Amino acid sequence: MAEMKRVLFLCTGNSCRSQMADGIVNNDFAGRIQAASAGTEPHGLNPRAVQVMHEIGIDISGNSSDHLSCYEGRPFDYVISLCGDADEKCPTFFGGVKRLHMPFDDPPRVTGSDEEVLAVYRRVRDEIRDQMNDFFKQELGPANV
């Protein structure tokens, strides 16, 4: 069996997009990829992100919002920034990894009714899932079953 890959998702607040990516990859690629997430300025888990992930059967309610420094010195195969700010601020202390930038809209910045805001969270969640599935299926190749 192939060695498990490790990925670190980065966002400024580590509250929404990086948490959703972390949960999706740990769910969809369980046993093949171990995902973690961190922020350059973490400020807690976003309750709406938890809600829209729960809607697709993924529980991220126990995740913590960690600062990037928590992962310094740990090996990762991929470091993926999901917002421009984190992409610019990510130090290059992660050696020997594939650094990627995959930007997504920031749902907490959206205004409107609860339903309008949740629709953006759901859209971004689904976009993250689609992009991560496309990317990692190509990177990993066929599953070793």
Among all residues, which ones are annotated catalytic?
11, 83, 90
* Alpha-helix runs per DSSP H in 55-144: 84-89, 114-140
CA 80 to chain centre: 8
Q: Give the sign of the dihedral formed by CA 10, CA 101, CA 26, CA 52.
A: positive
Strands, DSSP E only, in 33-82? 33-39, 78-81
Q: Beta partners for 85? A: none
